Chain A
Amino acid sequence: MKFRFHTESRFKSCCQQAGILVACMSVVIMLNRCTGITTGPDDFTKWLPASIPDTVYLDLSNVYTRHKRELGRYLFYDNRLSVNNTRSCSSCHAQTFSFTDSYTRSSGAMGDLHQRNSRPLINLVYNRYLTAADSTIHFPESQMDGPLFNEHPPEMGAGGHKQQIMDRLKNDSIYIALYAKAYPGEKDPVNWKNSKLAIATFIKTIISTDAPYDRYRRDSIQYPLPAPATRGRQLFFSDKLKCYQCHGGNDFSTPLQTVQQRQPDFYFNTGLYNIDGKGGYPSYDRGLIDLTGEKTDEGKYRVPVLRNLVFTAPYYHDGSALTLEEVILGYEQGGRIVKNGPFAGDGRINPFKSPLVSGFSLTDTERRDLISFLYSLSDSVLINNKNYANPYR
Chain B
Amino acid sequence: MQTLTGKYRIFSGLRTTWPWLLVLSALLYACQETGNAEKKLPSYDEQARNAVLLPLDSFTNTPLIQQRVAEIRQALTLPIPVLLCNDSLGGPQQMAQMLALRDTGFARHLKNPASGKPYRNEIFGVYPARQSDLVTVKLPYTLQSTYRVEMYNYALNMTSVAMVDVDRQQVLTSYIIEDVQPDVSGYLKDLAVKIAVEAPEVQQALGIKPSEKEALMASTKTALNRSRCERSRHLCVAPTFVKGDKALWAIIDLTDHRLVGIRWTTVGEPGTAVPLLTEKKLQDDKITSCYCEVEQPLKKNSWEMKYMLTSSDGLRISDVQFNGQPVLRSAKLVDWHVSYSGTDGFGYSDAVGCPYFSQAAVVAWEIPKVAELRDDQQRVIGFVLEQTYRSEGWPTPCNYNYRQRYEFYNDGRFRVACASIGRGCGNTGTYRPVFRIAFSGEQNSFYEYKENNWQQWQQEQWQQQGSLTSYTPEGFQYKIGSGGKGYFIEPGRGQFGDGGRGDFSWVYVTRHQAGRDEGENDLVTIGPCCNTDYHQGPDKFIEPGPEDIMQSSLVVWYVAQMRNDDRKGNEYCWAENVLEDGVWRTKAYPCFAGPMFVPVKN
Contact = CB atoms under 8 A, between A and B. Distances in A.
Contacts of A111: 246-247, 263-266, 426
Interface string B6-31: 11011101100100110011001100
Contact of A3 (B9, B50, B52, B265): B9
Contacts of B341: 91, 101, 103, 107
Main secondary structure of the interface of A (DSSP, over half): loop
B33 A181 contact: yes
A221 interface: no
Contacts of A393: 44, 226
Interface stretch (A139-147, A187-195, A264-272, A336-344): A336-344
Contact of B55 (A29, A85, A101): A85
Nearest to A33: B28
B3 A103 contact: no
Nearest to A39: B25
A392 B47 contact: yes
A163 interface: no
A40 B41 CA distance: 24
Contacts of A85: 53-55, 261-262
Interface stretch (B316-324, B371-379, B481-489, B561-569): B561-569
Contacts of A32: 25, 28
A3 B7 CA distance: 8
A308 B3 CA distance: 23
Residue with the highest number of chain A CB atoms closer than 10 Å, among B263, B266, B343: B343
A53 interface: yes
A120 to B, nearest CB: 13
A79 B343 contact: no
B205 interface: yes
Contacts of B50: 172
Main secondary structure of the interface of B (DSSP, over half): mixed
Interface string B416-447: 00000000001110000000000000000000
B282 interface: no
A309 to B, nearest CB: 9
Contacts of A342: 568-569
A25 interface: yes
A340 B25 CA distance: 65
B88 interface: no
Contacts, number: 169
Given A107-B428, A340-B570, A368-B468, A45 B2 contact: no
Interface stretch (A9-17, A255-263, A299-307, A317-325): A317-325
Interface in A67-86: 77-80, 84-86
B585 interface: no
Interface residues of A, number: 73
Contacts of B35: 181
A252 interface: no
Contacts of B25: 32, 38-39
A391 B40 CA distance: 12
A104 B574 CA distance: 15
Contacts of A322: 501-502, 563
Given A78-B52, A84-B205, A338-B569, A104 B343 contact: no
B265 A107 contact: yes
Contact of A174 (B9, B41, B264): B41
Given A80-B51, A84-B201, 8 more contacts: A24-B13, A32-B25, A48-B3, A84-B262, A90-B343, A92-B343, A392-B47, A392-B48
12 contacts: A1-B9, A45-B3, A77-B226, A79-B226, A91-B343, A96-B342, A102-B342, A104-B565, A343-B568, A343-B569, A375-B468, A391-B41
